[in-house]
């Protein structure tokens, strides 16, 4: 599934006010180069100061737009963002301009043909992404933790269907129509155990996700930077 299909897929289910069943989630998802630039930038920020960073991805007219990265926040930021399209006409030059506005700031301005004005409608929130800093394990290998209980809790409580995590690869966690409503104590321990596995060297990480996360009604994707995201479970 390419990026614009993925956006349409998310929007279709959001409009239906339901989460897709596990069977509807594609085997692979491809992001565009602008999304990867944003992911790389977030990764670099975390490499520099060891803090978590967070940003929201929006999609408009076939392109990705990102909100300014937030440093060290654990709050959900998705609800506080807004995106809109505003058209301008330069009467003198007889040119139409399309302004894409994210959080009150013009992030893109392009000249368009009048016919393109009618198309519109292709914009909205995609998902929120945050980073986890690296961790050195006992063998001095660089490893990363998995989604934390706070991460999964925020996703379950939010309107969003998907949430992203940047380590040295990119993860997506997606809700299905069978997603659990909350993470209990047992769930908290399980997520902690998965992170411990990841710190150790993640040999059995995929198995652990396959075994447990389908029961939670969550679907995970993982991809190396600039490669397709592949469904894990």
Q: Which of residues 165-194 bind Zn ion (CB under 5 A)?
A: none
Pick from 83, 163, 176: nearest CA to 131: 163
Tokens of 134: 């690296």
* CB of 133 or CB of 228, closer to Zn ion: 133
Choose, by CB under 5 A, the member of 151, 174, 183, 190 that binds Zn ion.
Answer: 151
Choose, by CB under 5 A, the member of 46, 76, 143, 148 that binds Zn ion.
Answer: 148
Q: Which of residues 93-132 bind Zn ion (CB under 5 A)?
A: none
Q: Which stretch binds Zn ion (CB under 5 A): 80-88, 109-117, 142-150, 210-218?
A: 142-150
According to the binding rule CB under 5 A, does residue 154 interact with Zn ion?
no
Q: How far is the CB of 130 from Zn ion (least distance, A)?
A: 5
3-state helix, strand, coil in the chain (%, to 5): 35, 30, 35
According to the binding rule CB under 5 A, does residue 54 interact with Zn ion?
no
Pick from 122, 124, 103, 108: nearest CA to 61: 122
Q: CB nearest Zn ion: which residue? A: 151
Q: Which stretch binds Zn ion (CB under 5 A): 12-20, 56-64, 113-121, 143-151?
A: 143-151
Q: How many CB atoms lie within 10 A of CB 1?
A: 16
* CB of 148 or CB of 161, closer to Zn ion: 148
Q: Which stretch binds Zn ion (CB under 5 A): 64-72, 85-93, 144-152, 203-211?
A: 144-152
Q: How far is the CB of 185 from Zn ion (least distance, A)?
A: 19
Backbone angle region of 218, left / alpha / beta, with phi > 0 → left and psi within -120 to 50 → alpha: beta
Contact 181, 145 (CB under 8 A): no
Alpha-carbon distance of 150 to 155, in angstroms, equals 9
Contact 182, 156 (CB under 8 A): yes
According to the binding rule CB under 5 A, does residue 55 interact with Zn ion?
no
Q: Which residues of the shown chain bind Zn ion in the complex (CB under 5 A)? A: 148, 151
């Amino acid at each position: 599934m390419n990026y614009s299909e993925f956006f349409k897929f998310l929007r279709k289910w959001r409009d239906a006010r339901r989460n897709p069943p596990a069977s509807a989630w594609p085997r692979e998802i491809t992001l565009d180069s602008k999304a990867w630039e944003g992911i790389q930038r977030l990764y670099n920020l975390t490499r520099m100061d060891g803090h978590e960073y967070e940003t929201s991805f929006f999609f408009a007219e076939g392109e990705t737009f990102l909100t300014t990265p937030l440093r060290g926040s654990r709050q959900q930021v998705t609800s506080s963002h807004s995106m809109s399209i505003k058209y301008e006409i330069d009467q003198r030059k007889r040119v139409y301009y399309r302004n894409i506005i994210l959080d009150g700031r013009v992030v893109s301005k392009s000249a368009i043909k009048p016919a393109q004005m009618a198309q519109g409608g292709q914009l909205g929130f995609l998902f929120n992404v945050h980073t986890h800093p690296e961790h050195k394990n006992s063998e001095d290998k660089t490893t990363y933790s998995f989604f934390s209980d706070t991460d999964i809790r925020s996703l379950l409580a939010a309107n969003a269907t998907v949430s992203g995590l940047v380590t040295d690869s990119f993860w997506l966690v997606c809700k299905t129509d069978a997603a659990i409503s909350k993470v209990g104590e047992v769930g908290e321990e399980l997520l902690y155990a998965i992170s411990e596995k990841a710190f150790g060297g993640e040999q059995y990480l995929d198995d652990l996700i396959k075994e447990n996360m389908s029961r939670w009604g969550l679907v995970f994707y993982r991809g190396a930077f600039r490669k397709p995201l592949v469904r894990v479970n």
